[in-house]
Every structure is written in C-alpha cells, then in structure tokens.
Chain A
Amino acid sequence: MPKKLGVYICTGCTIGEAIDTAQLAKVATRECKAPTCRMHPFLCGPEGCDLIRKDVADGTVNTVVVAACSARAKTDAFTFDPGIVLERVNLREHVAWSQAAREEDTQMLAEDYLRMGVVKAQKSEPSEPLTEEVSRVLLVVGGGAAGITAALEAAAAGYEVVLVEKEPQLGGFAATLRKRFPIEAPYDAPAADGLALKAQEATYHSKIRVLTSARIVKIEGQPGMFDVAVEREGVASTVRVGAIVLATGWKPYDATRLAHLGYGLANVITNVELERMAARGPIVRPSDGRVPDRVLFLQCAGSRDPAHLSYCSAVCCMATLKHATYIHEQNGRAKVYIVYKDMRTPGLNERFYRAAQDHPLNFLTKGELASIAELPSKDLLVTLRDTMVGGEVSLEADLVVLATGMVPNSADGEAIRALKEAEAKAVRGETESQRAEAARRQDELRSHKGTEILHLAYRQGPDLPVLRHGFPESHFICFPYETRRTGIYAAGAVRSPMDTEHAERDALGAALKAIQAVELAAHGQAVHPRAGDLSFPSFLLQRCTQCKRCTEECPFGSLDEDEKGTPKPNPHRCRRCGICMGACPERIISFKNYSVDMVASMIKAIEVPEEDEEKPRIVVFMCENDAYPALDVAGFRRLRYHPSVRVIPLRCLGSLNIVWIADALSRGVDGVMLIGCKEGDDYECHFIRGSQLAKRRVENVKETLQRLRLEPERLHTAELSINEWDKLPAMIDEFAGRVCAMGANPYKGM
C-alpha cells in the first residue's frame, strides 16, 4: 500500500510560542515531502481531531504524524483505525516545555524530532493481529484454598476450569486447620474453617472438572493453546487450555535445620506439628503425653534469618496467636510465652493481636533466643536476651513451639535441574572423582526428586523462573500474579507468604489475569505491560545463524528451538519487548512498527552540525516504560536540560541493538546515553532483564570504540526509577558537559 503521509502540527500548549511552527511545516512539506501538512492551535480538540479524521476518511492520508504532545498524553483523541500508521512527535514535553522559547537550538531540536518521527512513520506498516483458534478453558494447578477459589471465581465468570490436585482430596493445607484466622467482626477470635464447603462446591460445579490424585506430565504450547498432559492413577490424558493458574501453595520450612533453636529435643515442636495435633485432639507434650501448663512460642524460627529464610513468612505471628487460644481452651491455667522479633499482624488482624495481649496468661516479649536446654524432667529451660523485661531472662516451659515459616512449592526449579545434572553425571561422568562428586550431590538434592510441577516443554526449562527467595513472581509491585511465563499466573502462598484469606483474594486476581491472557490471545494482542499491542516479532529465518542468543535471552522463554537451534516463535507467549531484536547479531528480527532499520533511520535523520558550529549532538536511548515518562514529568515541571539531546524511546532498553551505537557515532554524534530501569535483585525493568542485557552489550561495544580511537566515555548507561524525574535533567546535563569537554566526535562529517 503506497504511503500517504500527513503531518499535523499542534500549536497549542505553548508549542506555537516556543517553536517557529511555520518553519517546522516547511521541514515537513519540503524536506520530508509530506503531501499533507496541517496546523491547528488545539489539535486534540474535536475540531483538530476532525481535521485528521477527515483526511483519513477520504483516503488522502494513511500515515499520520501528530507533532504535538507526548505519546503518553491524549491517547483517546489520537486513536485511529488499526490500519492507519500513527506516529507521535513529542513537541510539547520534550521541546516547548523543557527548552528556551524561540532559540535556534530549540528549533533544531523540534525539526530533528519531526524528521525522526516522519522517517519512522514512513518505515512502519500497520500491524495485523495474529488471531488463531484459542481454548478458553483455564487450568488451575493445586486444589487448596487458592486453587479452589480461582476455579470457582473463573467458573463464576463463565469460564470452564480444569482443577488438578495431587492429593486424593481437595483442600490443601487450609483444610487441615482446626480453626482459621479471624474473618468476621470484631476479628478477635479464630473462626471455623469453611473450606470444605467450597471444596464441595467446586467438586459439583458444572464448569469445573476436578482431577484429584493427578499430576501434570507435560505442558507445551502457548497462551490460548497450552496442551496439558495429565496422569491420573496411571491413566494419561491431554487437555487443551488457554491459561494457567499456579496455586501450588507452600511447605513448612525444614525444621531439622533448626537444631540451634532446640528442634530435636523431645518437647520442641513446630507450629505445623502443633496445628496437626490440635486438629486431632488435645495438644500434649510428645515426651509424656501430658497437657502442658507452660508453652513457649519462638517466633521467626528460621524466618527473617539470612542463614535460613531471609524473608518474613507473614503468617507465623497470627498462627501463634491462634495457637495460644487453643492452649487456653484446653487448660485455663496454662501460661503462654510468646517471644518475637516484631509481631506482624497487619490490618484488622491487629484486633486479634490486642485480644491476645489482653489475656492475663499470655506473656509477650521481644527477644532473641540465647540458649535452650532440656531439664531432667524433659521441661525446657529457655534463656532469652534483649527482652523487654531487660537483660537476660530465663523461663521454664513444658513445651516449646517453633513458629516456622513458609517455603513456596515452586522453589525447587534450580535444585531439580542440579539434581538431574548430577544424576546424568553420576552415570556418564568422565572421571571417577567426577562421578563420586555427582553421587554426593545427588544425595544432597534427593529431597527434590519428583517435585517438578508444571513440566513445561520450554527451551528454557521445565519450571517457572523464580526470584531471590524462590517465589515465581516476575514483577512484584507493578504486576502481581505475573510470572515469567506468559499465560501462567501464580496465586496464594506460592507467590508470596500469605494466609488463607489473602490466598483466596489472590486467587481471584490471578484468575482474572488468566482470563485476560486468554481473551487477549484470542484477539492477537499482547498482555501487559504492552497490553493490546498487535505487533509481534517476525524472523527472517533464511539468514539465521542459529546463534541462539534470542532463545536464551528472551526473559519469558517465549522462543523454542528446533534441533539445529533455529528459533521457533510462540507469538502468544511474546510480550513484544523486542529483547530478541536487540540480541540478534544478524538483525533478522523485527516488528512492523519497530525494527533495527527504523531506529537506525531515525538516527540518520538527525542533522549533525559541523564541528565548527560547536553544537554537539547526543542520542539518548530511553526506556519508554519508566525513563521516558519521567522525562515527560520533567517537562510538566518545566525543568530545563541540554538542547543537544535527541531522545529515542525504546520498548525496553534490552531491545537496543548495538548497531545503533555504531550508526550514531559514525554519523558524528558526540555521545550516546542509555537510560533504563533499575537492575539487580530489586529490578524495576518491566521485562525483567532489559537493563542488564543492554549494559552487557554496551560493555562489548566499548572495546570496539577503543579500537576506533574513540573515548569509551562517549557511551554512558544510567538507571532511573520512574519517580526520579527531578534527577533526570541533571543526569543529562552532566553527561552533555562531559561530552563537550571531550571535544567533537572526530568522525563528524566523514
């Protein structure tokens, strides 16, 4: 389809005062040869929008360049038919509001941005959605509180559900409780558990197929078309589902590793052991079966301890307060000591905590265990330090309960892989010592055998990648439930330590995300953070060298491989971040509206003044999720920064292809700056590893620069949080200052 370009320049919001828009229009019509170019003082108003719509409707224009405000503003006004290519040029936030009015540099900036916008629009094609037949059935893995709730909620929304549970009955851990935490006003007493009723409801629900005593053998495919192989009592079957909710819950932290807290002594038990005892009958001392008169609870047993679980397990404080009520119920004269680091009972749970404080026979103190010793009577002498009572105190107890924490039932991924590797090596190891070492490792990891859950047939491995603490989250703050496998959403204690009530609420959220994933896949759209994006990467496989960088670097494991290592795309798993495009050394991966060539052409569209004009040029590649909006905010606040910058937004800094750096420097651009999200354990990147990958690529390119006798300092990477807009102008100015001090790029004008 021939390109019919239309450039629409808004002169409102002080753009007209800051920039000579008539001159800008000349750039559009003469230089860029736009057949249609119109100006309007209020382009986003009804009259302005009609101007564009009319040209589009009568076929005069099919490629629209709106030179007005940021692409993040007025999206409702500037939305056209999907068949129309739309490009936004940010004259407001990035020019008029951040540069001196009517200056030569300001005008040059505006004109460059227009050139860059036009060339991108010229090279873009409208995206055609990839729609295929999808399954709208949801798979829920795990039949505990979260799983049952997810199934019921999805069914209530009209979706069919397959619920897979490994045990012979539904209920999970929550069903084994004597009582659950308070759920009704005044929230001061444990409540009866209503899970059995919900389990029954799920079992007999017409839209829910419950498969108990079942396990997943294999999952392959992508959102909308996952093929799940299930084995049940030796019988294998396959079901096609659209999305998956992972609600596999948790297991208690291994108390045998808590010998330093007394575990192993006759009358030292864990909170889970106490709960099991309480569900059956009275709570007694294991040594003599006597109902205890003095029970001491030790909080954070293994939790918030870098040597064990470094996180807070969220439920142990409440569990202990609940267990104290069990103790008082069975023995009105029993004393309960609770030794804590901090009591954490958020929200309405505070009322339960207060009720516990008010009990005359509950004794609570902050403190650390100094020692625990068994007396001849099998009573325990517990010595505490740093208590509120002051100094060291000792207490005698008949029973000590360790409030152990939660470990997600997902954390084994790494260990399972290590175990498999060891197993293979133990058989096929090259040397005797290698085989012995593998056998030792195999023994060490034995407890992980057979704990795989999803068995994903993905190139990047069978499990969900996990964060630092073993939780399969991918972006805790912005995208709860989100895992690094598109279409698979985590809910409940597998996602983060939480109690039954939170797990139930979590399940609702995850079920809705799963439904979204199915519906978006049905429409060929991306899930968040680029929700609704119709573009998807295409691979020019004739030129693929099977280097596997794309399949390895994709943060979502969306690409599989054939036996030769050629990527096999799964478009519905793709989040459209473009990291594969940045990774590809052959530049064979591109989107219809985002490609290596497009950005390279934008760089070429920048007019680079001669050295004697003393006008440096700096290209800034900016993450469009965090850094770009931060620069918009700097514009809202009218913060000034150096006029030499030419900002190019990237879908993710990880989509940066190093050829662009070479392109820029060889054109005489004096400096290149990369601004992405924070990386590391607490990363903020929407695509997990974007900044990290970009930084690695840039390190490689710096060596090349040295060979070309170019200062590596001309290339600078920075991290920015979305709320650090106030720091951004200084960051830019500082780099511009350093570039000016270095002098002009020697390749200028070559």
Chain B
Amino acid sequence: MATALKIEPDVTFIEHVMKSGGGELKKCYQCATCSTVCSLSMDDAPFPRGQILKAQWGMKEQVLSDPAIWLCHNCGDCNVNCPRGARPGDIIGALRQAAIEQFAVPRFMGALAGSLRGLAVLLLLPVLLFLAVALWAPKPAAPGRLEFAAVFPIGVLEPLFFAVCGLAALAFASSMARFVRALRVSGATGPILPGLIPALREIAAHSRFSKCGRGGSRRLGHLLVFWGFLGLALVGTAVGVATMGGWLSTPLALTNPLKVFANVCAAVILAGCITLLVWRATDPDAANTYFDWLFLLTLTGVALTGSGSELLRLAGAAGAMYAVYFVHLVLVFALLLYAPYSKFAHLVSRTVAMAATARKS
C-alpha cells in the first residue's frame, strides 16, 4: 500500500489565489463540468477540476508544479458552463500567477511584480535610471537633426538593454530550472527538449487557441502580438548589434527595409493589443485580473509610445518627442527586465509545460 499523502492546507496560499482572481475558488463542488467542456483537456490527464481541488485544499506545491495550469489557454468555456459560478478559468489564471511568483529567481521579485505597491518600486528603477541618462550621460555632438540620441545616447542605451536582456534571460533560466525540477517531482516526466519541437510548431500556428471554444478575436489578437513582438525583437537585436558594430547609424531612413519591417511589426502589435483590449473589455466571461491587465497595458504602452515618439520625431515636436520616448524607454525596460516575474513569463513557462506534456496531447 502506498503511503498516504499528508495534507496540511496552506491557508496563505488559498487566500492569495482568492485575492488574485480566483475569488470563487471555494465554490467549486467538483462536478467536473469544466474538464468536460474544455476542448484542451486531455483524456488521460484532464483539467482543470483536479487542479482546482488541490488549490481548494491549499496543496500549493502539488498544484503549482502541475503543467496543466499552463496548458489552459483561458478561453472561458469553463467560466460560462460552471453550474456553481466558480469561474474555473479565473482560478487557473490566478494559479499561473502564483506559479510565476513561486518559481521566480530571485523570489522577492515575484512578490513585487504581483502587487500594485510592488509595481511602484519596480517602475521607480527605470524612471530614475533614464532620468540620470537624460541628465548626465555624455551627449554626442549635435547631429543637426532631431534624434533621440541627442538626449538618450545610443552608446549608453544599447549596452544597457543588452544587459537587461541578459539579466532577464538569466532569471528565466534559473526560474525554469526550478519549474522543471518541480515538474519532475510532480510526475510530469516528458522529455522537454524533444517536446519543444511540436510545442513550438503549435505555438507558431496558435493551434490550441483555435481549439478553444470562446473568444475568436482573442486568437487573432494574440497571434498578431506574438508575431509582431517576435519581429521587433529580431529587428531590434539586429539593428542594435549593427549600430554597436558601427555598420549602421540610427535613425534609419523611413524607406530602409529594416525600418519598414520594424514599423510593420509595431503596427501589427498595436493591432493585436487593441484586439485583445477590446476582447477583455467587452467579453463578460473573460478572466480579467490585475496581472492580466498590467501585462497587456504595458505592452500596449510600449507599442503606443514607440510609434508615438517616432511620429513626433517626424513631426518635429522636440519636447513631446523626448517625453514620450522617455516613457517608452521606461516601459520597454520594465517589460524586458521584469518579464520573468510578470505575465510575460507565460511565454517560457507555457512552452516548457507544453513540451513536457507533448506526448500526452
């Protein structure tokens, strides 16, 4: 006989889940309508009923290391069909946030990113940093035309952002190490590297989104944001490397193919963000937590301030241009450095979870 699993409900965890979007957690009476209506739930490892039960019982470790919470794509079918109004999708969303916080390296960052008060601290850092850059960084000789480098020198920004990306990558790597270790303990033993190929293929096509029952516009929005962001990341990195190597100097001409590509990507992201914002604002059954809004609004802010500052530059409005660009830099900084602690982390966690369970699906 297997030894009995000892349960000591973690009350703090229960309260945290209930505060961060899973307010109806205790309502669930385990009828499993959610698992039945979910089109992503798997026959041999159904969700989200079991995960909600574990959350109700405060079984923090068990539920947070469960890859299933990442397999949910949050369509809201369960929220609509739940006979008890427990909003299972919202609970799973709250559990994802808790998982990001749990596996974050360093852990206090996870806690900061999860609360409004923490947000103020987190934003203070880039604000001060970029104020310092604007005030004291050595400026290049005036180029005779309006450009951002006059206030925010490229020689400072480029290494700064490469460092930010490096830090974020490091944090991602170590939190993923924690996550994978937890996955292994919880019994999700699928080989991750081979699983990555089918997982990435699915992500590229957003095929799970299309299986989801509700929120058709959500798939389109997410697809646009995903590809737009990937494009911008690529072009941004390329331009950054090229500028630092001295092969390219910014600002690029509007007709430059790289510039055209970047502007198209920005437009795509913006379109995606608006689609998602409209969906979140109008669909009463969408799960809308602080965590969700913060990420989407940051992303929208990045896209808006990026294209806005570019337009202002072309329009020659110097004062407004620098101000907006300042906000843009702060937001990009926050988006990238805090990615492992914000909803952005789902990019990595979900990919890993999908890879770990690739054989099952």
Q: Is the CB of A363 within 8 A of B9?
A: yes
Are B27 and A357 closer than 8 Å at their CB atoms? yes
B26 contacts A335, C-beta separation under 8 Å: no
Chain B residues with CB under 8 A of A390: 50
- The residues of B that contact A450 with a CB separation of less than 8 Å are none
Q: Does B7 contact A (CB under 8 A)?
A: yes
How many A residues touch B, CB cutoff 8 Å?
23
**Chain A: minimal CB distance from B82 (Å):** 13
**Complex Cα–Cα for A357 and B53 (A):** 12
Cα–Cα, bound, A389→B15 (Å): 20
- CB–CB B4/A392 < 8 A: yes
Q: Are A393 and B11 in contact (CB under 8 A)?
A: no
Q: Say yes or no for B8: interface residue by CB 8 A criterion.
A: yes
> CA of A394 to CA of B56 in the docked complex: distance in angstroms?
16
Chain A positions within 8 Å of B, measured between CB atoms, are 333, 335, 354, 357-363, 365, 370, 383-384, 388-396
- Across the interface, do A393 and B5 meet the contact criterion of CB distance under 8 Å? yes
A395 CA to B8 CA in the complex, in Å?
7
Q: Are A393 and B6 in contact (CB under 8 A)?
A: yes
Interchain Cβ contacts under 8 Å between A and B, 9 examples: A333-B11, A335-B11, A354-B27, A359-B26, A388-B30, A389-B7, A389-B53, A389-B57, A394-B5
Q: B1's contact among A361, A388, A392, A396, by CB below 8 Å, is which? A: A392
B281 at the binding interface (Cβ < 8 Å): no
Given contacts A335-B11, A359-B26, A393-B5, 11 further A-B contacts (CB under 8 A): A357-B27, A358-B27, A360-B11, A383-B4, A384-B4, A388-B53, A389-B57, A393-B6, A393-B7, A395-B8, A396-B6
Asked if B29 lies at the interface with its beta carbon under 8 angstroms from chain A, I say: yes
Alpha-carbon gap, A394 to B6, bound state (A): 5
Chain A residues whose C-beta falls within 8 Å of the C-beta of B54 in the assembled complex: 389
Closest approach, in angstroms, between the C-beta of A215 and any C-beta of chain B?
Answer: 48
With A360-B14, A363-B57, A389-B53 in contact, is A394–B26 under 8 Å at CB?
no
Task: Please name the residue on chain A nearest to B15 by beta carbon.
Answer: A360
| CB within 8 Å of A: which B4-30 residues | 4-9, 11, 14-15, 18, 25-27, 29-30
B27, closest chain A residue (CB): A358
A383 to B26, CA, bound (A): 23
- The yes or no answer to B253 lying at the interface (CB within 8 A) is no
Q: How far is the CA of A578 from the CA of B57 in the complex (A)?
A: 63
Most A CB contacts (10 A, CB to CB) among B4, B26, B54, B59 go to B4
In the complex, chain B residues whose CB is within 8 Å of the CB of A360: 11, 14-15, 18, 25-26
The answer to whether B26 touches A357, judged by C-beta atoms less than 8 angstroms apart, is yes
Rounded to whole angstroms, the CA-CA distance of A333 and B15 in the bound complex is: 12
Determine if A363 and B2 form an interchain contact, defined as CB atoms under 8 angstroms apart: no
**Residues of chain B contacted by A391 (CB below 8 angstroms):** 2, 4-5
- Nearest chain A residue, comparing its CB with the CB of B62: A389
Q: How far is the CB of A292 from chain B (nearest CB, A)?
A: 15
Q: A384 — which chain B residues lie within 8 A by C-beta? A: 4
Return chain A residues, CB-CB under 8 Å to B2. 391-392
Q: Give Cα distance in the complex from A392 to B6, angstroms.
A: 9
Using Cβ atoms and an 8 Å threshold, which residues of chain B touch A392?
A: 1-5
CB-CB under 8 A from B57, the residues of chain A are: 363, 365, 389
In chain B, positions 324-346 with a C-beta closer than 8 Å to chain A are none
Smallest CB gap from B18: residue in A: A360
Most buried by B among A354, A360, A362: A360
Docked Cα-Cα span, A363 to B55, in Å, equals 11
Complex CA–CA separation, A392 to B1 (angstroms) = 9
Q: Is the CB of A335 within 8 A of B5?
A: no
Q: How far is the CB of B58 from the nearest CB of chain A, in Å? A: 8
Beyond A360-B15, A361-B11, whether A389 also contacts B27 by CB under 8 A is no
List of A residues within 8 angstroms of B29 by Cβ: 357
CA distance A361 to B13 in the complex (A): 12
Q: Which residues of chain B have C-beta atoms less than 8 A from A363's C-beta?
A: 9, 56-57
Nearest CB on A from B51, distance (A): 12
Q: Bound state CA distance, A329 and B117, in angstroms?
A: 32
Chain B residue numbers with a CB within 8 Å of A335 are: 9, 11
- Collect the chain B residues with CB atoms within 8 Å of residue A357's CB: 26-27, 29
- Contact residues of B between 36 and 62, Cβ < 8 Å to A: 50, 53-54, 56-57, 59
Closest chain B residue, CB of each to CB of A365 = B57
Q: CA of A383 to CA of B7 in the docked complex: distance in angstroms? A: 10
A403 CB → nearest B CB, Å: 19
Chain B nearest Cβ from A698, distance in angstroms: 52
- The residue of chain B having its C-beta at the shortest distance from the C-beta of A366 within the complex is B30
Report how far A625 CA is from B205 CA in the complex, Å. 73
**A360 CA / B5 CA spacing, docked (Å):** 21
Q: 9 closest A-B pairs (Cβ-Cβ)?
A: A392-B4, A394-B4, A358-B26, A393-B5, A383-B4, A394-B6, A393-B7, A360-B14, A393-B4
Residue in B7, B27, B50, B84 whose Cβ sees the most chain A Cβ within 10 Å: B7
Please give the distance in Å from B52's CB to the nearest CB on chain A.
11
The closest CB in chain B to the CB of A333 belongs to: B11
Q: From B26, which residue of chain A is reached at the shortest CB distance? A: A358
A359 and B27 CA atoms in complex are apart in Å by 9
Q: In chain A, what residue has the closest Cβ to B28?
A: A357
* A390–B57 CA distance with the chains assembled, in angstroms: 12
* Complex CA distance for A275 and B349, rounded to whole angstroms: 50
Residue among B2, B5, B11, B84 having the largest count of chain A Cβ atoms under 10 Å: B5
Distance between Cα atoms of A365 and B59 in the complex (Å):
14
The residue of chain B having its C-beta at the shortest distance from the C-beta of A382 within the complex is B4
How distant is B27 from chain A, measured CB to nearest CB, in Å? 6
CA distance A358 to B27 in the complex (A): 5
Which residues of A are found within 8 Å of B56, using beta-carbon distances? 363
Alpha-carbon distance between A388 and B50 when the two chains are bound, in angstroms: 9
- Residue of B8, B14, B59 near A396 (CB, 8 A) is B8
Name the B residues within 8 Å of A383 (CB-CB). 4
Q: Which residues of B contact A362 (CB under 8 A)?
A: 26
Residue-wise, chain B 210-252 has the 8 Å CB interface mask toward A (1 for contact) of: 0000000000000000000000000000000000000000000
Determine how close the nearest CB of chain A comes to the CB of B186; give it in whole angstroms. 13
A363 to B9, CA, bound (A): 9
| Cβ contacts under 8 Å, B15 to chain A | 360
| CB within 8 Å for A394 and B30 given contacts A360-B14, A360-B18, A389-B57 | no
Inter-chain CA distance A370–B2, complex, in Å, is: 13
Q: Which residue of A lies closest to B30 (CB)?
A: A388
CA distance A354 to B85 in the complex (A): 12
- Chain B residues closer than 8 Å to A359, beta-carbon distance: 26
A360 CB to nearest B CB, Å: 5
Q: What is the distance, in angstroms, from A21's C-beta to the closest C-beta of chain B?
A: 62
Instruction: For the complex, give the distance between the alpha carbons of A354 and B83 in Å.
Output: 12
Q: How far is the CA of A370 from the CA of B57 in the complex (A)?
A: 20
CB distance from B218 to the nearest CB of A (A): 30
* B4 near A370: Cβ-Cβ < 8 Å: yes
Rounded to whole angstroms, the CA-CA distance of A361 and B25 in the bound complex is 12
How far does the alpha carbon of A363 sit from the alpha carbon of B28 in the complex, in Å? 12
CB distance from B266 to the nearest CB of A (A): 45
Name which residue of chain A comes closest to B58, CB basis.
A363
Chain B residues whose C-beta falls within 8 Å of the C-beta of A393 in the assembled complex: 4-7
Measured between beta carbons, the chain B residues less than 8 angstroms from A333 are 11
How many angstroms between the C-alpha atoms of A358 and B11 in the bound complex?
14
**With a CB–CB cut-off of 8 A, which chain B residues contact A396?**
6, 8
Residue of A nearest to B6 (CB): A394
Residue interface mask B267-290, A partner, CB < 8 A = 1: 000000000000000000000000
Contact bitstring B56-74, A, C-beta under 8 A = 1, else 0: 1101000000000000000
Tell me, in angstroms, the Cα distance from A365 to B56 when the chains sit together: 11
CA A357 to CA B83, docked complex, whole Å: 14
CB distance from A140 to the nearest CB of B (A): 42
B221 to chain A, nearest CB (A): 34
Q: What is the minimal beta-carbon distance from B18 to any residue of chain A, in angstroms?
A: 6
Q: How far is the CA of A370 from the CA of B53 in the complex (A)?
A: 21
| B8 CB contacts on chain A under 8 angstroms | 395-396
What residue in chain B is nearest A353 (Cβ atoms)?
Answer: B29
Is the pair B5, A389 in contact by a Cβ cutoff of 8 Å? yes
Q: Which residues of A contact B3 (CB under 8 A)?
A: 392
Q: Give Cα A390 to B54, complex, Å.
A: 10
* Beta-carbon nearest neighbor of B56 in chain A: A363
Return A546 CB to nearest CB of chain B, in Å: 65
